Structure 1
């Protein structure tokens, strides 16, 4: 699997994932409905793609955010 996510993109994904987790688990802003579960799923996907370094959606679109890949 090739890398298509750069360092800045990875960091941004981790920051967004952390913010979503704090919003979902640390507050009652999202309640217990669909927004809560959507925030958890998006946070999990962002964390996974940040650690793996590959985004399937980027592959489909043909986008790369890393310089030397």
Structure 2
């Protein structure tokens, strides 16, 4: 798969995902916090399947 997540988008996904998982672990927001695994994974892997389907890319053009 081609990389389609870059820069600020990547950082935001990692931070938001980590915060959601942390809140789930502490019991603050319950089981729904585990949805944070998705943005964390897409941020770390630099690939978002939804972006691929929609033809969006936040990576800088080489």
- Tell me if TM exceeds 0.5: yes
Is 1:49 the counterpart of 2:42 in the alignment? yes
Do 2:14 and 2:40's aligned partners in 1 also have CA atoms closer than 8 Å? yes
Is 1:29 the counterpart of 2:28 in the alignment? yes
Aligned residues: 62
- Counterparts of 1:29 and 1:44, CA distance in 2: 16
Q: Scaled by the length of structure 2, what TM-score is found? A: 0.82
Q: Scaled by the length of structure 1, what TM-score is found? A: 0.75
- Counterparts of 1:39 and 1:63, CA distance in 2: 26
- In structure 1, the gaps of 5 or more residues are none
* Superposition misfits of 4+ residues, deviation over 6 angstroms: none
